[in-house]
Structure 1
Amino acid sequence: MEKIDILIQGTNVRIHHLFLMMTKRNWNGSSEVDNIAATVQYTGFLLCNPGCNPCFPLQQPNFPYNRSQSYKPIPCGDPTCPTPNQDCFQSFCGFKISYGKDPPTSTAGAIVRETLTFPSDFGGTESYNDLFLGCGFKSYHYEFQQPNKISGVLGLGFGGTGTLSFLKQVSKKRFSYCLLNSEHTNSQLYIGGAKMVGPQVLSTPLLRGSNEALYYLDLQDISIQNIRLRLQGLFSGGSAIDSGSPVTILLPNVYARVKIGFVQYFEQFHIQPYDSGSRPRDVPMLDLYFPNSFGFDRYPTMTFHFKGADLVVQPNGIFAFGRNYFCVLLKSGPVTMIGAFQQTQHKFSYDFELGDGRRGEIGALRFAPQDCGSPA
């Protein structure tokens, strides 16, 4: 339950970062790489507590940039610098970024060109020259669950006009992943690769939305165990899909209807939700709790009905279980955003060779159920 609380905190600071603190950046440039296949592993989320100032708590040694023959700093004010002059780090092209609040975690450093080496989908490794790398030199208020395996963030957002996303740098038109909620199994992130095909593969358009850091979908309705909630027209502002947010966020009027849907489903089994005065102590910071009856196993699915495709989330992607209760892994918030828990046990492929630009589509999200795990 402590881990669930940490993931909820992570969802809250993610929302704060994306929709209250984010500033737009302009990036430009290009490069080429072959297909990349990297291991993905579930780990704990960062805790925004004071500690390790000014450093980022690494399990491995810091990158020895001063011994790298391929490390190329960019002078402040250089036309190839993708950030404004006010973000210069000392005399170099730099960046400043903060995350969360009270106090915010923050990093400042230099943007450089560097040779990066990735695992390839052929089992070896490949090195690629002159990719942009944000190298953090001063980091504040980072605290991770130990042992910490996190050493940075790879952003795979599409970006706005004239920006230099990672995908554009490596000249790739798709990426895919398959997420788990277990610490004992690994999965893969693929950048590039073949188009996702198969009899179970579904496809829905990828859209631009209010935040250029996110991908958006046309979410039309939600079902609880195949019972439609008839939410058409309530998803104002679009619906984002985000692997950086652990828990799904729903607009308040949508969340209220979904909550009623779960309550009505469990009523048929004579299971009533706890109210605020009767719920167990030390539960996670969620809203909807039910008593967990011994031997009960008829937990519902939850289906997100996108344009042209239905994402059916199994119970292990919806509920968290305590000793004598279970809770629904959803939160009410200022946006609609499909989080990582509700994406588990599916393979997702973001394909930018597909989609009709005349209808505002930037690509297509293709997905299918899949057993994502392999032994860690």
Structure 2
Amino acid sequence: MSLSNRITTLTPDASGGWELFFRARAMIDAGEQVTELTIGEHDIRTDTRILDEMHRAARAGHTGYAAIPGIAPLREEIAARVQAATGVPTTLDNVVVTAGGQAALFAAHVATCDSGDRALFIDPYYATYPGTLRGASATPVPVKASPDSAFQPDPADIDAAAADGAASLLINSPNNPTGVVYSRTTLEGIAEVAQNSDFWVISDEVYDTQVWQGDHLSIRALPGMAERTLVVGSMSKSHAMTGSRIGWIVGPKEAIAHITNLSTHTNYGVAGFVQDAALYALRQGPGFEEEIAAPFRRRREIALDILAGQNVVRAVPPQGAMYLMLDIRATGLSGNAFAEKLLDTHRIAVMPGESFGKAASGHIRVAMTIGDDAFAAALKSLVAFAAAQI
């Protein structure tokens, strides 16, 4: 008797490349002072007004089974939000509520990929992407986005990867880990390849409220793409509701109906009182979302000011999301070596670029997720450390 090949090969290196994160957490658990700039967790908690609504809904009895595709008012609110942002007609029948963005990513690939199908994704990538594709029984195929092109994917590279067949392409803009927002030219090129090669696009847009430079464009809004795109959204980043585990997929009605059926056979819906809280949060409007995003916008400016005073550490243009991708190749160190040494000598924890794929080698990712003063002090120490390696 043995476990399935699917589960035992989900993450071939077991850690998913997050060894440094685990080591930093162990140091903290042992009582050491570590400045943690590793993961995308807000330094504020979920707003008490949202928690009050969650409490009210639970006490009012919304603790039983909730509608599996999501309660109608929430799906209508999500549809209205998406339509207002993109101009694409969207109704509640285009929306299914999921247990966070991660569950949405898995469901989207189950919906679009048969066993063994090639599922393309952009490298650098969010750490769970390859395992998610393997979990859906697809074959993960990375497509490199070069640092020399500011990590904008080249549609020609996607076209070349699709020549051997592809069921889907997973993109993420604003991007984690790079902080890059894909340009209209990039997205139009991807859309052309998707239509010519006839594959689905799964667009992870969980950072759509964190855009610092330029405009966020959903690929679903481009001509011919609404019928072949599944958009993943989430309350985690936009409303600091990471632990509430609530997200969604927006897509064609037929696909949403089948994904709803999948939900019936997996998590059987999302807690009703959490959905009520999400509905309340979304109804607070863009102003509330801007409040949640404001600290990251502010810290981006702090970082750019600090980095402007030297030429050893270069920032990949931070256009969106709560991260900085920093090019430290001038030090002669790999991202892994730099991050390990920084943790050892300064007790500052950052993520090696190699944690997110081969394309980000020689880079580190810094999460802008601690208070302004502490963030500025840590970044100054990082820059001084980098200069000392020359």
Please give the range of the TM-score, normalised by the shorter of the 2 chains.
under 0.3
Alignment TM-score, normalising by the size of structure 1: 0.27
Alignment TM-score, normalising by the size of structure 2: 0.26
For the pair shown, the structure with the greater C-alpha radius of gyration is 1
Q: Which has the higher contact order (CA 8 A, sep 6+)?
A: 2
Higher strand share: 1
